[in-house]
Amino acid sequence: MQLSSTSFFKRPYFSLKTELFAGLTTSLALVPEVVAFSLLAGVSPLSGLYTACIIALITALIGGRPGMISGAAGATAIVIVSLVATHGVEYLFIAVILMGLIQVLVGVFKLGKFIRLVPHPVMFGFVNGLAIVIAMTQLEQFKWEPLPGQKEWLSGTALYTMLGLVAATMLLIKFLPKVTKSIPAALLAILGLSLLVHFSPIETRLVGDLASIKGGLPQFHLPLAPLTLETLYIVLPYALIMAGVGLIESLLTLTLVDEITETRGNGNKECVAQGVANMTTGFFGGMGGCAMIGQSLINLKTGGRTRLSGVMAALSLLAFILFFSSYIERIPMAAVVGLMFMVAIGTFEWASLKVFRKVPTHDVLVMVVVTLTTVLLHNLALAVLVGVIISALVFAWQNAKMIRARKHVDARGKKHYAIYGPLFFASTTAFGQKFDPQNDPDEIIIDFSESRIVDHSALDALQKISARYEKLGKRVFIQNVDPSSKILLQKADQLLTLHYLEDAANFRARTAENEKSLV
C-alpha cells in the first residue's frame, strides 16, 4: 500500500529542535483526548494522564517503532467501561496487569508477525475508518450541556465562535509551513489561538472545562481487589480483549508508520514494550492503553522520527500535570479540534478512492466493510478481524474454483488424473467429482505435480477416493507429491490406506529427509 501522504511526512535528517517540538506538540494534543477517554471509561482524568505518561515513556524507550506514540487510547477505554461500572477500578488495575503479561508473552513467542495476515484492503479500510472516527469524535465539542446528562448542539454566537476558531487553526496549520518551518505549525497554531482567546473577550470552551489535570507524581499502588480465582474469572475476559485490541491497533499503527516513514519497525519488540508498559501502569493506578494513531500522526507531521520525540511527549505530559496544569487548561478546545481535523484529513487515504473499478470487487467490498465497521462500532479490532475473515473466505472460494483434473489413459490401460490447483477444505467436493470409479480401469494414477495437499480435509478426500475404488476392486496410486505434502501424508500414514508409485519405505525415508531440509 503506497500512502499518498508519504512525502508530506518524510524528513530524512535528525534535528534535536524538531524532535523536541514534535514531542511537545503531541503532548498538547494528548491532554484533551486522554481526559475524554478517561471520562468515557469511568476513571479519573489523572488516571488516564498517568497512563499516557507511563506508556508513552516506556514504549518510546524500548518499543519497536521510534516515532510512534502510545497512551490511554479509546480502543481500550471502550472495552473497560462495563468492568469499571460493575466491579470498580481495583478490578481494572488487575485486568491491566494481566493484559500486559499477555502482550509480553505474545512478543516473546514472536506472534506479532501475524499482522502480516492483514491484507492491503483491510489496511485501507482501517486507515479511512479511523480518519472518519477521529473527525466524528471531535463533533462532541460542538455540543453543550444545558442540564447534566443532556447535550444539545451549539447555536448562535457560540457555534460561530467555535467554527471560526477551528477554521483559523486549520488554516494556520496548513499555511504556516510556507512562512516558517523552524517551529511546527501545529504548535504555533495552538499557542496563537490560546493567546488570542486569553487576551480577547472571546468566550469558548477550554481544556480545563473538561476536567482538572493538576496532580503529583504517579504513586505505586497494589490493586485492592481479592486475588482469587473468582477475580481471575472476572478480569480474564477483559484482559484478553484489551490485550488483543491493544496489539492489533499498535501493530497496525506500526505498519502505517513504517509505510509513511519508509522504515521498518519491530513488531515483536513493540508487543513486549506494550506489555511492559501496561503491566507498569497497572501498578500505578492506570487504565491501560496502546498505540494512538492520531497522536502518532501528529508526531510524524510535526517532524518526530526518533525515540526522543516520544520521550519528550511523555515528559511534557508529566510536566503539565506537575507544573503547568493551569496553562494547559486554558488551551481552547477549538484549537485541539482543528488540529485533530487536520490529522483526520492527513490520515484518510485519498488514493484509495481511485482504486474503485481498478481492483477486484471483493477488495473494494472488504475496504468498505472495514471502514463502516470502524465508523459504526468504533471497534478497530473487530473491524480488522471482519476484514481478514472476509478476505480469507474470498481467497478460499477463489482457490476452491481453481481445482482441475486433466485425464488420459496410457498405453498400459492405466488412467491418469493430473490435478491442478490446491487441494484443501474448500476444494475437496469439486475434487471428488472429477473421478469416475464405475467406468475407470482397474488402476488409476493421481498426479500432484501441479497441486498441493494442504490440510486434513484434503487427506480425507484422498482416503474417500481410494475407498470408493477399493470397493470396486480397483487401486489408486499417487505420484509427484511435493515435499510439504509428503510430510503431511507421512504424519497421517497410520490413518490412510493410500498407495504410492514408489516403495513405501523409500517414501518414508525421503519424507524424513524433506522434513529435515524444511526445518
CATH number at residue 495: 3.30.750.24
Quote the percentage of the chain above a pLDDT of 90.
46
Reduced to 3 states (helix: H, G, I; strand: E, B; else coil), residue 48 is helix
pLDDT for residue 496 = 76
* Amino acid type, 401: K
Residue 464 forms part of a structural domain = yes
pLDDT at 490: 84
In a domain? residue 179: no
CA gap 465, 460 in Å, rounded: 9
Q: 23 and 72: one domain? A: yes
| 169 found inside a domain | no
- Strand pairing category for 70-71 and 290-291: antiparallel
Q: Give the pLDDT band (50/70/90) at residue 406.
A: very high
pLDDT tier, 415 (very low <50, low <70, confident <90, very high otherwise): very high
Q: Can you tell me the distance from the alpha carbon of 363 to that of 382, in angstroms, rounded to the nearest whole number?
A: 18
pLDDT, residue 102, reads 95
User: What does DSSP say about strands 443-450 and 475-479: parallel, antiparallel, or unpaired?
Assistant: parallel
Contacts of 109 (CB under 8 A, 6+ apart): none
Rounded to two decimals, the pTM is 0.71
The reply to whether 191 falls in a domain is no
Specify if 146 maps to a domain: no
**Would you call 482 helix, strand, or coil by DSSP?**
coil
Q: Which residues contact 327 (CB under 8 A, 6 or more apart)?
A: none
What digits encode the pLDDT tens for the residues 26-37?
998 888 778 877
Q: How far apart are CA 451 and CA 302, in angstroms?
A: 52
Q: 373: left (phi > 0), else alpha (psi -120 to 50), else beta?
A: alpha
Residues 324 and 326: their CA atoms lie apart, in Å, by 5
* Same-domain pairing of 103 and 250: yes
Percent of the chain at pLDDT > 70 equals 93
Higher pLDDT: 463 or 401? It is 463
Average pLDDT, the chain: 86
Same domain assignment for residues 104 and 216: yes
Tell me: do 255 and 117 sit in the same domain.
yes
My answer on whether 296 and 425 are in the same domain is: no
| Domain shared by 364 and 459, yes or no | no
Q: Do both 237 and 289 map to the same domain?
A: yes
Helix (H), strand (E) at residue 414: none
First-to-last CA distance in the chain? 32
**Domain containing 486: what range?**
404-518
Inter-residue contact 154 to 143 (CB < 8 Å):
yes
| pLDDT mean over 78-95 | 89
Gyration radius from the chain CA atoms: 29
pLDDT tens digits for 439-457?
999 999 999 999 999 999 9
Predicted pLDDT at 517? 45
Q: Are 372 and 499 part of one and the same domain?
A: no
Are the C-beta atoms of residues 24 and 296 closer than 8 Å to each other?
Answer: no
Q: In the prediction, which pLDDT does 372 show? A: 92
> According to the model, what pLDDT value does residue 6 have?
41
Could you give the number of structural domains in the chain? Answer: 2
Q: What pLDDT score does 13 carry?
A: 53
* 243 and 370 within one domain: yes
**At 100, which amino acid appears?**
G
- Residues with Cβ < 8 Å from 175, sequence gap 6 or more? none
Specify if 182 maps to a domain: no
Residue carrying the nine cell digits 506500526: 254
Q: Is residue 436 part of a domain?
A: yes
Least confident of 60-64, 79-83, 282-286: 79-83
Q: Which residue has the cell 497554531?
A: 189
More confident of the two residues 8 and 416: 416
* pLDDT level of residue 505 (50, 70, 90 thresholds): very low
User: Residue 162 pLDDT more than 90?
Assistant: yes
Q: What is the pLDDT of residue 401?
A: 84
DSSP string, 232-288: HHHHHHHHHHHHHHHHHHHHHHHHHHHHHHT----HHHHHHHHHHHHHHHHTTT---
Q: Are residues 426 and 375 in the same domain?
A: no
9-26 pLDDT, tens digit each: 444 456 888 899 899 989
Q: What is the mean pLDDT of residues 315-323?
A: 92
| Average pLDDT value for residue range 278-300 | 91
Q: Give the pLDDT of residue 513.
A: 52
Domain shared by 508 and 432, yes or no? yes
Mean per-residue pLDDT, 264-290: 94
How would residue 222 be classed by pLDDT, with cut points 50, 70 and 90?
very high
User: Mean pLDDT, to the nearest integer, of 229-245?
Assistant: 91
Rounded to an integer, the average pLDDT of 332-348 is 84
pLDDT for residue 266 = 92
Q: Place 295 in a pLDDT band, splitting at 50, 70 and 90.
A: confident
Q: What is the average pLDDT across 399-415?
A: 90
pLDDT of residue 518: 41
Cα angle 195, 200, 205; round to 5: 75
Enter the DSSP assignment of 228.
S
Instruction: Please indicate, yes or no, whether residues 442 and 370 belong to a single structural domain of this protein.
Output: no
Determine, yes or no, domain membership for 423: yes
3-state secondary structure of 68: coil
Cell of 311: 520521550
- Cα distance between residue 515 and residue 491, in whole Å: 11
- What residues have CB less than 8 Å from 263, skipping those under 6 apart? none
